[in-house]
Structures are given as C-alpha cells and as structure tokens.
Amino acid sequence: MKILRTGVLLILLSVMLVVVGGAIGGQNGLKIALAIAVLMNGISYFFSDKIALASSGAKPVTREQVPRLYAVMERLAAKANLPVPKLYVIPEAAPNAFATGRNPHHASVAVTEGLLQLMNDEELEGVIAHELSHVRNYDILTSSIAATIAGAITYLASMGRFAMIFGGLSGGDDDRERGGGLAALLMIFLAPIAALILQLFLSRTREYSADETGARMVGQPYGLISALQKLGAYNQRIPTTSLPPSTAALCIVKPWFGSGTLSSLFSTHPPLADRIAALRDLTIVPSRS
C-alpha cells in the first residue's frame, strides 16, 4: 500500500507537470516541460548526494575515528543485507542525521557530532536503522525525483508569469481561447502550490515508512522512540548552523534554524508526536533465529 501510494503521488506530479506545460505553452510547453524534467532528474540522479554532502560540510570518517558508528552501521547493514554506506560526520552541535545516494551501492550516511555525543547505543542504533531504511527503500531517489518534478512545475509557472507580463498569454476573441487563457492562469498560480503539497506529503509518507522499517530492522521500536524524543527536545534548543535549509527534507528530524517555522501543511516531516505514536502502536513479532 505504501509503495502504491508513493507511485500514485509521483504519477500525479508527472501528470501535473505535463498539464502545466500544455496549459502554458501548448505542445511546445509540453515538450519544454518534459525536457526540463529529464534534465533535472538526470542531475538529481547523479549529483544530489554530492551536493547534499558538500553543502552540509560533511567529512568522511574512518573506523578508527568513529568505531561505535561503524560497529552499529556494519551490524545493521549485514542484518538488512545491504552494502555498508560511506560514513560522514558533520561538525554540528545540533543532533541530526541523513542518508543520501541514488541506490544502496552508492549510498552515504551523515551524522552530526551532536548526535554521536547525545545518543546512547540503543538510540544510535534506532537512528542508523531509520537512515538505512531510506537507503533500502530507495527513498532518496524517490524524493529527489519528486523534488525535481515539483521544481520543474514551479519553473514553468514562473515562465508563464513572465510571459503573461509581456502579453504572451493574452487571449483572443474566441471563447475557447479565453477559456484556455483562464486555465493557464489557474495553472500558473495554483500548480506550484499543489506540487509543493504533493511533494511534502510524499516526504512525510516516506518518514513514517522509514520509522517502521527501521524499527523492524532492529527488532523493537524503543531505541528509535527514545532517539526521536531526544532529537525533538535538543533541536528546539540548539539552532542548526552547518546544514543548509535545502537538506532539511533529508534529515531524520526537521532542523531548527533559529527562526519561525511554517505550518504543518508545509512541513517536510510529520509531527514527532505522531511518529512516536505510530511506533508505539507498531507490533513486531520477534524473529526465531
């Protein structure tokens, strides 16, 4: 059901991209929309991980530098039958973590120094299991594609507004042309908002899924529950300075940048209380091994 829901959301975004392109520029607009989507998806596919790591100041670390992190990662990766991702540490006091990479063989996991200092072993295991779940479920690639399509829709709408200012969308005397102009106007102003909401809903859906998959990977949800509680408490007191806002959607919890936040409708993450409640309601049957 969760895979189906993700597929439906991506299809809706793709259809919206084509419809917006057609409404704004007809066949030419549709071709431009598809070309933008293909180009931006290609860039996201190959370079989004490098951009995220570089922009956050993440540094690669060896087993000798962070033996506890490597021990947890190697144990869980073996349990999930996944390659061990490349490990990075971010010089950041606020506790957080994110995974990036287009597939399990090109994955990286970055954690902040604050997370390593504040989490006990069980909590660290819960966080790493959550991030490995994103890798296992190809969530990073899915989210990158969604963000790319939503960005293309917004770009097309901006082109439409520019064209409208200079008369490119002026309608003729024909009623059908006037109707098409009205549809284009609605697309220009409403489509970017709708695309953003769909993208954020997809992001929140994947967070719930990673929480559940991570808890099942570990065999119990309590470490992740405790980690989320601690992450929520500390991220309300310690402003994030190293991570740019563009990487906020990747993080296990939404970073606090020392300023006000938007409403939950426009949040990349579900409320922590809802995530913790879902984990408390999760039933995990112990494996017989």
Q: How far apart, in whole angstroms, are the C-alpha atoms of residue 147 and residue 6?
A: 13
**pLDDT tens-digit readout, 246-269:** 788 889 998 887 765 444 556 778
Average pLDDT over residues 21-26: 60
The mean-pLDDT minimum among 15-29, 139-153, 194-208 falls in 15-29
Q: How far apart are CA 129 and CA 209, in angstroms?
A: 12
pLDDT averaged over every residue in the chain: 79
Q: What is the dihedral of CA 64, 136, 131, 281, to 10 degrees?
A: -130
Whole-prediction pTM value?
0.77
How many C-beta neighbours within 10 Å does residue 67 have?
A: 10
Query: If 0-12 CB within 10 Å is exposed, 13-18 middle and 19+ buried, where does residue 181 land?
Result: middle
Sheet hosting strand 97-100, strand order edge to edge: 59-60, 86-90, 108-112, 97-100
- Residue 178's pLDDT band (boundaries 50, 70, 90)? very low
Dump pLDDT digits (tens) for 263-283. Answer: 455 677 899 999 999 999 998
What is the pLDDT, as a whole number, of residue 250?
A: 86
List the domain boundaries for the chain.
2-280
Sign of the torsion angle spanned by Cα atoms 74, 142, 271, 8: negative
Residue type present at position 135: V
Q: 45: buried, middle or exposed (CB in 10 Å: 19+, 13-18, 0-12)?
A: middle
- Summarize pLDDT for 190-245 with one digit per residue, the tens: 666 666 666 677 778 889 999 999 999 999 999 999 999 999 999 889 999 888 88
The residues annotated as belonging to the active site are 131
Residue 75: Cβ-neighbour burial (10 angstroms; 0-12, 13-18, 19+): middle
